[in-house]
Structure 1
Amino acid sequence: MARIEQATAVLRPSPTAELTARDSPGALRDSPAALRVAFLREQFDPARLRLFAGSSPGRLIAIGLLLITACVAAGWVTGTTVGDRQHTLNVLLDDTEPDAYSAHRLYTSLSIADAAASTAFIAGGLEPQAVRDRYSQAVGEAAAELVAETGRASGEPNGADDTDTRLRTGIATNLPVYTGVVETARANNRSGHPVGAAYLSEASNQMQTTVLPMAEELQSRRQAAVTEAQRNHVRPPWTAIVLVVLALVALVWAQFELAKRWRRVLNPGLLLASAAVLVLLGWTVVAGAVSATSMIHGRDDGAVPASRLTESRILAQQARSAETLKLVSRDATGDYDRTYDANIARLADLLGGYPSSAPAAEEVRNAIPALGRWRVAHQRMNDTLARGDYNGAAAVATGPGAADVAAQVEALDKALEQGIDTTRDTLRDNISRAARVLDFMGPGALVIGIVAAGCVGLGLWPRLREYR
């Protein structure tokens, strides 16, 4: 013992030596800050990190980080995707579809105004008040729809489309010119000047060749926007589905990895995480399928029939305009007859091919007989005109009788208008249903992803504690 103490005393530095060592430059390397830097360098040495990554705790931590990232990413992407799709449906319901319907009403109102203006000239002199009112109402509705569409376009976050703006501006610019020419024709007609018919023909030609084509293009573009939104929604959210499936596959793989390397058959935390991700996958697929199905029904039972009925109503008004212009112009060339026959033939095809199971089938069944009676009355008008009885032909075209043309055109237009409203309601109901199905799914997906990530941490933490 004495020898050990003696050796220790020899090895132990003297107080003077300690003071000398402490004051030397090398002592700075042993300061607390330097020791901490050296410790961090040692801990994060690449060789040491590679060694730790290959160890069992390192593999567990890597698996945990991978699973947590996969679960959170799957929940976040799914929630974001669902939120974007629901926002698109709301925009479709609140802006895109009303804009398309407004464009339809604009096109229809302009067609009605043109037909009513021509009808007012058949009787000669002062036109009937009912016809005058119909013309004024149609022009007022067209102007109101222009204002409404412009207001919606200016309220859009990205501004109005340049082409749509150009079309609206063109219609708004030409409509006062058209009404001015009609008023000039009306003034000449009241004074008994034959030039009134020429002015009316010029006004109708402007409507048919300038204004209505722009209105038709605007309606087609707005309807195409609705169709595009429906088509995009029907496509499955593949990115979200693939991420959820990958997260589920990663969880299953981790279970097998734990069973093979650590002899752990079942991990309660990973099982709960797998169940949560499986619920998210089922929710995404089922809700997406139901929402897409509602949108398909909206397209097939709403948008497509509405487009058919809209075209039918416009064709009817254009045929009516050609019919009345024939009388006003005393046309003997047959141009107006050809226009009338072409429009009526197309109208008959549209109504005859309308599906009996589609919405508004009852309204179409009412429109078909009205169209048939109109064709009979039109033939009677032509026969009367062929005998040289212009006043008799004018009476058939504009008379108040139930068998006259005006009554049948009104019945046909009313049935088609009701049918359009019915199909529009069907479309909007299905869009609303498609959006409601996705309620709570956006935030719910994110919550499920976070819960699954938490279950992964809880499941792997006990395994990591075994290596302390």
Structure 2
Amino acid sequence: MTYPPSGPALREPGPDLSSAPVTVPAQRRGAPAVAVERLRAAATTEPGRLQIIGAALALLVVVFGAVTVLEVSGRASSAADVVTRSQPLSADAASIYRSLADADTMAASGFLAGAQEPKDVHEQYEKDIKEASRLLVKAAGSTDTSSSSHQEITTLGELLPEYTGLIERARANNRQGLPLGGAYLRYANQKMTNEILPAAERLYTAETHRLGTDSADARRWPFLSLAAGLVALAALVWMQRRNYRRTNRVFNHGLLAATAAATVVLLWLAVGHTVARAELHGAMVNGQQSLDVLNKARINSLKARANENLTLVARGAVLTPDGTKDQYETDYGTGMKALGAQLASAAKLAGDDSTGRAPVDAAATSVTEWQDRHKKARETDDQGDYDSALSQIIGPENSTGESFDEVDDALELALSHEQDQFDSAAADGRGALGGLPAGAAVLAVLGAVAAIVGVNRRLSEYR
């Protein structure tokens, strides 16, 4: 019988494991490292590469749609603000200014008429004050309480009752034949000229500036959307070319549909924004600029008319700082000079638009007639014939008042035409962006789905 040796058991030789790499369990590694490893492994096979490319294409198309929706929505909102908020507020601010200036003119005209103020003049004054008050309340509800516009509205709301109170005192004294009435009227005019109208002008300037800002925001090019669209379209074209070179198949219906969807969104974006930009630019240049000039022209005509009336009311009691000239006559001349310059600018802006130019030309003709009649009235007054001069200023026929009415009517017609021009162009600009955000979102989703379907069609060939 044979026994095994009693020494230590002999082990058969095996592989040396001292130098073998230690494998770290997957759960002990970070999720990003595992994802990168799996992605690297998938990229080594054609099916894996196709899955990655399909996901990337879908992501690019979705990002293109999302960026387009965000950018265009902002521009469409600004375009809507131009039509529904900024321009109406700017127009209301101009109407507030005009109503206040016209009220001051009517007050002076009624005072000149004597103790018995003409009914139509008084009614127009009351109408102007009510209109200004109504528009101030409307503007206050549409502006931020922290804005400069709201501060000006508050100032106007405080000063307007003071002005109307002075006018009522002037009327009361005038009915009694007391010369103190003229002093109250001049003081009211100074408050209107030095405090109220400057506040109204600042309000108009602020609202017009906001209109310009909203219009500029709406017209900014969506560069990020255009860039994202070009990248997505280039990736889709590259994928189709790659597919053709590997399979010799001309079309992949899914990829072709995705490319078509991206192309439609890109063209819609480019063309729609170009049209909107052109229309909004036209609204500002051909509409708002003309409105601004015409509003200022009408305001200057009202101020000139008020100063013309006050020249007869004051009878030389108010002089320029150097004491050599009548202050109201000097202000009248300054206002008429500005009116002439603004009418020339308005005619230039009207260009070949005969409908818009005709009332401007008519206003310019009436201004010339107004100046001639005013010169004759001043000569008559300087000769000491006050009653005849008064008739030449406020009389029903061949008076400066008649010429002023013709100027005012022509400017109102021109303003109405330019307002229609602005509204039409701005509405067209807003409409060009109207359906783009929703359309881009729908087409982007369809394009992403089509890209995935097209890639999956290719993947099915490996199963």
> Displacement, 1:84?
3.0
Alignment of 1:392-431 (within 5 A): 392-401=388-397, 403-431=398-426
User: 1:443 maps to what in 2?
Assistant: 438
> Displacement, 1:107?
0.4
User: 2:342 maps to what in 1?
Assistant: 350
> Displacement, 1:261?
6.0
Distance in 2 separating the partners of 1:266 and 1:283: 24
Amino acid corresponding to residue 371 of structure 1 in structure 2? V
User: 2:448 maps to what in 1?
Assistant: 453
TM-score between both structures, scaled by the size of structure 2: 0.86
Deviates more, 1:357-366 or 1:161-170: 357-366
Amino acid corresponding to residue 137 of structure 1 in structure 2? K
Distance in 1 separating the partners of 2:128 and 2:278: 38
* Structure 1 residue 165 corresponds to structure 2 residue 150: yes
* Structure 1 residue 83 corresponds to structure 2 residue 73: yes
The DSSP-based 3-state class of the residue aligned with 1:400 is: coil
Amino acid corresponding to residue 141 of structure 1 in structure 2? E
The DSSP-based 3-state class of the residue aligned with 2:116 is: coil
Aligned residue among 220, 231, 249 for 2:234: 249
Distance in 2 separating the partners of 1:428 and 1:254: 47
Question: What CA deviation, in whole Å up to 9, does each residue of 1:172-225 have, x standing for no partner?
Answer: 110000010111111111111112111111110011111100000001111111
Question: What CA deviation, in whole Å up to 9, does each residue of 1:239-288 have, x standing for no partner?
Answer: 21111111111112223444556666643322222222112111111111
The DSSP-based 3-state class of the residue aligned with 2:112 is: coil
User: 2:371 maps to what in 1?
Assistant: 375
User: 2:187 maps to what in 1?
Assistant: 202
Amino acid corresponding to residue 119 of structure 1 in structure 2? S
Q: Supply the RMSD in Å over aligned alpha carbons.
A: 2.3
Using a 3 Å threshold, how does the CA distance of structure 1 residues 459 and 182 change in structure 2: closer, same or farther?
Answer: same
> Displacement, 1:45?
7.2
Distance in 1 separating the partners of 2:44 and 2:195: 77
Distance in 2 separating the partners of 1:280 and 1:366: 49
User: 1:235 maps to what in 2?
Assistant: 220
* Structure 1 residue 326 corresponds to structure 2 residue 311: yes
* Structure 1 residue 103 corresponds to structure 2 residue 86: no
User: 2:275 maps to what in 1?
Assistant: 290
Amino acid corresponding to residue 55 of structure 1 in structure 2? T
Distance in 2 separating the partners of 1:442 and 1:205: 53
Question: What CA deviation, in whole Å up to 9, does each residue of 1:316-354 have, x standing for no partner?
Answer: 001111111111001263222221111111111121232
Distance in 1 separating the partners of 2:330 and 2:37: 90
Structure 1: gaps (5+ residues): 1-34, 154-158
User: 2:115 maps to what in 1?
Assistant: 125
Amino acid corresponding to residue 340 of structure 1 in structure 2? Y
Question: What CA deviation, in whole Å up to 9, does each residue of 1:75-130 have, x standing for no partner?
Answer: 22223333332233223222222111111110000000111111222233222222
Deviates more, 1:176-185 or 1:286-295: 286-295
User: 1:362 maps to what in 2?
Assistant: 358
* Structure 1 residue 391 corresponds to structure 2 residue 383: no
Please say if residues 254 and 452 of structure 2, whose CA atoms lie closer than 8 Å, have aligned partners that are also in contact.
yes
User: 1:10 maps to what in 2?
Assistant: none
> Displacement, 1:46?
5.3
Amino acid corresponding to residue 418 of structure 1 in structure 2? L
Work out the number of aligned pairs and report it. Answer: 426
Distance in 2 separating the partners of 1:224 and 1:45: 54
Please say if residues 75 and 219 of structure 2, whose CA atoms lie closer than 8 Å, have aligned partners that are also in contact.
no
* Structure 1 residue 340 corresponds to structure 2 residue 320: no
Amino acid corresponding to residue 343 of structure 2 in structure 1? L
Amino acid corresponding to residue 166 of structure 1 in structure 2? Q
Distance in 2 separating the partners of 1:111 and 1:368: 20
* Structure 1 residue 192 corresponds to structure 2 residue 214: no
